[in-house]
Structure 1
Amino acid sequence: MALRIDRGLFKYDFIDHHAVLCVPVDADVKELRKRYLTIARRLHPDANIQASTTEQQVAEEFLAKLVNPAYEKLSTERTRAEYMIVLSQMGKRLVQEASTVELQTDLAKELVNVPESNVNQLYKAAIAHIAKTQYDSLQNAPQIIAQISELNLVYLMRSANKLLAAQPSLVQPTTTSGSQSQTPAAGSTATAQPIFNEDSVVEAYIRRAQGLIDKNQLSQAQIELQDALKLEPKNSRCHSLIALVYLKQNRLKMAKIHFDNALKLDPNDKTSLEWKPKLDKALGLQSGGAKGTPSTNNAGKQSDKFGGGLFGSLFGGKKK
């Protein structure tokens, strides 16, 4: 069964973990855990003994590919904090692109037009109502998740500026010059300081991606860097690293696009300066019909991939 969802926040290449769990985007850890356990019990093999083999497999797929990753992301303080920053930025971006946002569900359209004072009440009431039957029909579950994500999208647009500040996990008490945290005295006006800012979140994505690249876990590294670029589209380091990932995946055209972007943003980017000349040489051989030129499809279009062994040898592969 296909689990592809292409409405709501998913349409913007964003995995809406709150929609998967059917909880409000400002849900706390206690609420997240309660909802996760409810869904896990519903989808667990022991609860589906009477179901067909196919239905059991679908339930396990939902649990393994959507529900468990969603809970893992949202229940861990650091990953939730990073995710909420990206989510808040997504809301602000959607406000700027409001004229292009398309909604299909009546509830989401209604949430657009309700008075500001009723937004929170209607949104949470709708989420709670849908949660009661979200996974009753696994065949319909992707459409229901899409419906929830449309509600999340509208709610974000109407409350993006408030959402990040409302997350208690994103702040910590101010500290003195010493290493110990100090609790503000009664009546003091000490202000909580953010644990994370956008720069530190992007750096965390980059560090994880670099570690994954070193382990040759390229698909995971690509996801980390795509998330970082959503938050900071003009980060040259992100562009050069994702270009390197595409290069290692033999996706030369995508690699070239991101190497070019990296060098536009930072002409001294070391990774791009090292690898782009080799990429240009490979693409030159490819277009010139040298040995290793990829096959063409029926329309005569060239593949993104380089067919010969030349490029693999750049990463230490055996020469043919």
Structure 2
Amino acid sequence: MSLRIDRGLFKYDFIDHHAILCVSVDADVKEIRKRYLKIARHLHPDSSAIKTDNEKKLASELLSKLVNPAYETLSGERTRNEYIIVLSQIGKRLVQEAASIELVTDLGKQLASAPNVDLLYKSAIAKIAETQYESLQQSIHVIAQVSELNLVYLMRNAGKAFATSAAKPPVNSSTPKSDTAAAPPPEPPKEDSSIEQYLRRAQSLIEKNQFAPAEVELKDALKIAPKSSRCHSLLAFVYLRQNQLKMAKIHFDNALKLDPKDETALAWKPKIDKALGKQSSSPNVNSPPGTGNKQPDKSGGGLFGGLFGGKKK
């Protein structure tokens, strides 16, 4: 049986760990752990009631290749934070592509137009979770169905935020509130769509921890759209993952100037400011310009370890 999934969020070169565990995308760690333990008991050969050799083999594959990696990602603070950042970026992307997204399931179509999206989404997830792995042969199909619900939920929530910000009238230079008057006008939709391919490639590379080529994609995108907050925010995150904290700070600052509500920048900039403050007070404060951020990257600890808990191996 193939474990390949090509529906829902999986279509975007993204592994939907929430769908694999059948928990909502805003589930907390306790809920995720409780759900994982229930699935693991059902699939593990030592505790499972599964009898046939073929089903035992399939259960073992589902547990080792999908369920365990999903739990490891969503239960670790570092991996969970990185995963949620990418997930939020996909949510913004879905808003741009909403008109071209085709939904397969009736439940997904219903969720797309439901007045109370939160209630229907969470009740649907809870109901599906009751029988998700009862039929192992259908488990991949069920995961795909849940991922489609996750896609719609992200699109609906991101769409609300996008519509709210877009509905605000532009602020001219005569407005007395200096903080909003200094903000640049929103990016034209045409400009945003012109860099979408760069962002897609960059996001895919980030998910694979290929930060150097992701940096190239985002720099090229900024040449086309220098006032794209998404580009600045993603590039800052790439610099952050390469332990180039000063460059990350510059681009997070730019992202917040362009979009004061940028979630990635709001989440990480205070941590970078704190890390740079510690760095400036360390014995290496007199290091030549351009070398202070590169030294810790070789050891895998220091500031990089402080922000992310160590490098991935």
**What's the TM-score bracket when you normalise by the shorter of the two chains?**
0.5 to 0.7
TM-score when scaled to structure 1? 0.52
Native 8 Å contact 2:42 2:49 kept in 1: no
Alignment of 1:110 with 2:110, yes or no, is yes
The verdict on how the C-alpha distance between 1:222 and 1:112 changes in structure 2, with shifts beyond 3 A counting, is closer
Greater C-alpha Rg: 1
Query: How far apart, CA to CA, are the structure 1 residues paired with 2:41 and 2:84?
Result: 27
- Structure 1 equivalent of residue 39 of structure 2: 39
- Structure 2 equivalent of residue 239 of structure 1: none
Paired amino acid for 2:135:
S
The verdict on how the C-alpha distance between 1:159 and 1:33 changes in structure 2, with shifts beyond 3 A counting, is same
* RMSD value, Cα: 2.7
Equivalence map 1:53-202=2 (5 Å): 53-115=53-115, 118-160=116-158
Query: How far apart, CA to CA, are the structure 2 residues paired with 1:37 and 1:73?
Result: 15
Native 8 Å contact 1:89 1:160 kept in 2: no
The verdict on how the C-alpha distance between 1:221 and 1:110 changes in structure 2, with shifts beyond 3 A counting, is closer
The verdict on how the C-alpha distance between 1:234 and 1:52 changes in structure 2, with shifts beyond 3 A counting, is same
Query: How far apart, CA to CA, are the structure 1 residues paired with 2:50 and 2:68?
Result: 23
The verdict on how the C-alpha distance between 1:77 and 1:87 changes in structure 2, with shifts beyond 3 A counting, is same
The verdict on how the C-alpha distance between 1:122 and 1:221 changes in structure 2, with shifts beyond 3 A counting, is closer
The verdict on how the C-alpha distance between 1:226 and 1:101 changes in structure 2, with shifts beyond 3 A counting, is farther
The verdict on how the C-alpha distance between 1:222 and 1:149 changes in structure 2, with shifts beyond 3 A counting, is closer
Q: How big is the shift at 1:132?
A: 0.1
- Structure 1 equivalent of residue 269 of structure 2: none
Q: How big is the shift at 1:223?
A: 2.4
Q: How big is the shift at 1:160?
A: 3.0
Paired amino acid for 1:224:
N
Q: How big is the shift at 1:225?
A: 2.0
The verdict on how the C-alpha distance between 1:55 and 1:92 changes in structure 2, with shifts beyond 3 A counting, is same
Gaps of 5+ in 1: 164-205, 207-219, 237-320
The verdict on how the C-alpha distance between 1:24 and 1:160 changes in structure 2, with shifts beyond 3 A counting, is same
TM-score when scaled to structure 2? 0.53
Q: How big is the shift at 1:124?
A: 0.2
The verdict on how the C-alpha distance between 1:31 and 1:54 changes in structure 2, with shifts beyond 3 A counting, is same
Query: How far apart, CA to CA, are the structure 2 residues paired with 1:150 and 1:85?
Result: 19
The verdict on how the C-alpha distance between 1:32 and 1:222 changes in structure 2, with shifts beyond 3 A counting, is closer
Query: How far apart, CA to CA, are the structure 2 residues paired with 1:160 and 1:26?
Result: 13
Paired amino acid for 1:234:
L
Query: How far apart, CA to CA, are the structure 1 residues paired with 2:212 and 2:118?
Result: 28
Q: How big is the shift at 1:224?
A: 1.9
The verdict on how the C-alpha distance between 1:138 and 1:125 changes in structure 2, with shifts beyond 3 A counting, is same
Gaps of 5+ in 2: 162-201, 221-313
> Match of 1:157, SS?
helix
Q: How big is the shift at 1:48?
A: 3.6
Alignment of 1:225 with 2:213, yes or no, is no
Native 8 Å contact 1:16 1:149 kept in 2: yes
Query: How far apart, CA to CA, are the structure 2 residues paired with 1:14 and 1:224?
Result: 13
Query: How far apart, CA to CA, are the structure 1 residues paired with 2:212 and 2:129?
Result: 27
Paired amino acid for 2:218:
K
- Structure 2 equivalent of residue 253 of structure 1: none
- Structure 2 equivalent of residue 234 of structure 1: 218
The verdict on how the C-alpha distance between 1:119 and 1:42 changes in structure 2, with shifts beyond 3 A counting, is same
The verdict on how the C-alpha distance between 1:227 and 1:94 changes in structure 2, with shifts beyond 3 A counting, is farther
Native 8 Å contact 1:3 1:142 kept in 2: yes
- Identical-pair percentage: 63
The verdict on how the C-alpha distance between 1:30 and 1:228 changes in structure 2, with shifts beyond 3 A counting, is farther
> Match of 1:24, SS?
coil
Q: How big is the shift at 1:226?
A: 8.0
Residue by residue over 1:173-221, the C-alpha shift from the partner in whole angstroms, topping out at 9 and shown as x without a partner, is xxxxxxxxxxxxxxxxxxxxxxxxxxxxxxxxx9xxxxxxxxxxxxx99
The verdict on how the C-alpha distance between 1:161 and 1:79 changes in structure 2, with shifts beyond 3 A counting, is farther
Q: How big is the shift at 1:78?
A: 1.3
